Amino acid sequence: MRTTYTLPAVLVGALALSACTDVDSYNPDENARTKEGALLGAIAGAVAVGAATEDAGSALLGGVIGGALGAYGGAQLDAQARDLEQRFGNDAITVSNTGGQLVVTMPQDILFAIDSAALNVALEADLAILADSLNKYDQSAVEIIGHTDNTGSAGYNATLSLDRAQAVADVLVNNGVSVTRLDATGRGEEQPVASNLSEEGRAQNRRVEIVITPYS
C-alpha cells in the first residue's frame, strides 16, 4: 500500500537537505544564497515528484534531487555574479544575486540618449562582457526588461522601454547569445523603484534590468 505524503513531511526533508549544502570555501553571503537555492529546489522537487507518485519515498527522493539541482544553480549564480562584478567597467552597473536569480541593472541614462533607443557605443563593451558571461554560464533564461520614469505618456513610455530592451537583446545576440534564451519586454513607467517626484528618483526609474534565471 502506498503512503500518501503530507506537505510538512516534504518540508522536513527539504530542510534537512538544505542543512547539508555548506561549503567552507564560500563566504557567508554566498553560502546563504546557495542554501536558499538548495531549499527552494528541494521543496519544488519533493512536491513535484511526490504529487506525481503520491508516495512519501518518492517525495523524499524528489527533494534530494531538487535540492542538489538548487544548490548547483545557486553556486553557478554566485560564480557568475563574481565574474560580472570583476569585469564590468562601469560602477553604475549593479549585479544583484537574489538566490534564485541574477539581476543586472543598467541605468538607461548610460545606455541611451534622451528619448532614444540607440545604444551608447561606449556601453557595448559592457554588453559584450555580459554576453560572454551568458555564453559561459549558458544554462539559464534571460529576460531583458526596460523601465522608464513617468515623464510623457504611458503609451510612449511603454514603447520606448520595449525598444530599449530589444536594443540590448540585439547586442547580446550579435555577441553570440542564443535568441531562444532571450525575452525582451517593456514595462514603461509601471514598476518604479523610486519616487518620480525628484530628478534623482526619475533617474533611478530609467533602467534596463537583465534577469538571469537558471533552468530548473
pLDDT tens readout for residues 104-138: 999 999 999 989 999 999 999 999 999 999 999 99
Cα separation, 160 vs 17, in Å, equals: 46
Q: Which tens digit of pLDDT belongs to each residue from 141-154?
A: 999 999 999 999 99
Cα separation, 138 vs 76, in Å, equals: 10
Q: Which three cell numbers stand for residue 23?
A: 561549503
Cα separation, 69 vs 58, in Å, equals: 16
Pair 83, 106: CB distance under 8 Å: no
The count of C-alpha atoms lying within 13 angstroms of the C-alpha of 182, restricted to the half-sphere facing its C-beta, is: 24
Q: Cell 530592451 belongs to which residue?
A: 165
Q: What angle do CA 89, 157, 168 make, to 5 degrees?
A: 35
Q: 23 pLDDT exceeds 80? A: no
Q: What angle do CA 91, 92, 94 make, to 5 degrees?
A: 90
Least confident of 21-25, 70-74, 195-199: 21-25
Q: 16 pLDDT exceeds 90? A: no
Cα end-to-end span (Å), the chain: 31
Q: Which three cell numbers stand for residue 40?
A: 527552494
Domain ranges of the chain: 74-206
Sort strands 207-214 and 140-147 into parallel, antiparallel or unpaired.
Answer: antiparallel
**Which CATH number does the domain 74-206 belong to among 3.30.70.100, 3.40.190.80, 3.40.50.300, 3.30.1330.60?**
3.30.1330.60
